[in-house]
């Protein structure tokens, strides 16, 4: 990972970082070839914790000594030092890999989430895709400045297997909600065809707004009932029994 400055004439290197979980060794592909040790497939920059400063988000894979794990990292650059703020590795099978990252408020909570797309595969599944097809993986993460938490995750497969190579976020239908678009490759009879999907997450604010509105309505009804009952009692007291 490198930070560069362009002065209109040349690039100047500001900072760089290299890392591994395991110094020696490397993971294998699902076909038995060399997968590698640690690779970053994608990088995005955005303020994902709402502190007014943009973070650097990297995603890819890393070899943990046994399997190829997906890796998601949060970095900050203060002008002089490149700092690692958080790192998350996870496996759903022998190979789990982040292929792409997108940033956006995808659940309507007014905070920017981290969306990752990629692949989950069993070792040897390249030759046994009928019994162990590859799965695409879509995940939504939130970063509060100190911890990275998984908010949503979805896996799916079709044909002989599928990989979500790319992901993007935007309000596609102008309904005020941000949709997630995944696209990748699905295998059918030794051929690779596109697989594009559109996803959405129910807004938590809608539920919270409904609860607040319902609570407010109940309070108004109770207060109104109290004053009506009080007024009714006054009227009864004004006309004593004969």
- Indicate if 185 and 70 belong to the same structural domain: yes
- Indicate if 57 and 120 belong to the same structural domain: yes
- pTM reported for the whole predicted model: 0.82
Q: What is the predicted pLDDT for the residue at 132?
A: 79
- Indicate if 79 and 22 belong to the same structural domain: yes
Closest CA to 66 of 127, 21, 116, 117: 21
- Indicate if 196 and 89 belong to the same structural domain: yes
- Indicate if 161 and 231 belong to the same structural domain: no
**Largest Cα span, the chain:** 103
End-to-end CA, the chain: 93
Q: What is the predicted pLDDT for the residue at 180?
A: 98
Q: What is the predicted pLDDT for the residue at 67?
A: 96
- Indicate if 122 and 225 belong to the same structural domain: no
Q: What is the predicted pLDDT for the residue at 232?
A: 61
Q: Give me the average pLDDT of each 10-residue run along the chain (242 residues).
A: 96 97 94 95 98 98 97 97 97 97 96 98 76 91 96 94 97 96 91 94 54 47 58 59 50
- Indicate if 38 and 93 belong to the same structural domain: yes
Closest CA to 165 of 91, 70, 98: 98
Q: What is the predicted pLDDT for the residue at 54?
A: 98
- Indicate if 19 and 44 belong to the same structural domain: yes
Range of the domain at 80: 2-202
Q: What is the predicted pLDDT for the residue at 223?
A: 53
* Structural domain count of the chain: 2
Gap between the Cα atoms of 94 and 96, Å rounded:
7
Gap between the Cα atoms of 75 and 134, Å rounded:
30
How do the residues of the chain divide into helix, strand and coil, expressed in percent and rounded to 5?
A: 15, 50, 35
- Indicate if 23 and 125 belong to the same structural domain: yes
- Indicate if 178 and 222 belong to the same structural domain: no
């Amino acid at each position: 990972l490198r930070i560069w400055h362009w002065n209109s004439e040349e690039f100047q290197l500001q900072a760089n970082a290299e890392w591994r979980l395991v110094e020696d060794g490397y993971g294998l592909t699902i076909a038995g070839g060399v997968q590698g040790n640690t690779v970053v497939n994608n990088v995005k920059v955005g303020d994902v914790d709402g502190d007014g400063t943009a973070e650097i988000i990297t995603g890819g894979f890393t070899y943990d000594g046994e399997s190829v794990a997906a890796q998601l990292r949060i970095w900050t650059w203060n002008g002089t030092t490149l700092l690692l703020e958080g790192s998350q590795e996870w496996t759903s099978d022998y190979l789990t890999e982040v292929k792409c990252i997108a940033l956006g408020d995808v659940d309507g909570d007014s905070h920017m989430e981290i969306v990752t797309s990629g692949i989950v595969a069993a070792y040897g599944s390249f030759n046994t895709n009928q019994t162990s097809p590859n799965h695409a993986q879509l995940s939504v993460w939130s970063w509060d400045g100190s911890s990275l938490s998984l908010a949503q995750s979805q896996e799916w497969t079709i044909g002989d297997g599928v990989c979500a190579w790319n992901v993007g976020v935007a309000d596609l239908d102008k309904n005020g909600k941000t949709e997630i678009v995944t696209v990748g490759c699905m295998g059918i009879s030794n051929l690779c065809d596109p697989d594009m999907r559109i996803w959405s997450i129910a807004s938590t604010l809608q539920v919270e707004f409904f609860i607040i509105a319902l609570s407010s309505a109940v309070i108004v009804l109770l207060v109104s009932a109290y004053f009506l009952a009080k007024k009714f009692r006054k009227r009864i007291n004004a006309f004593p029994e004969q």
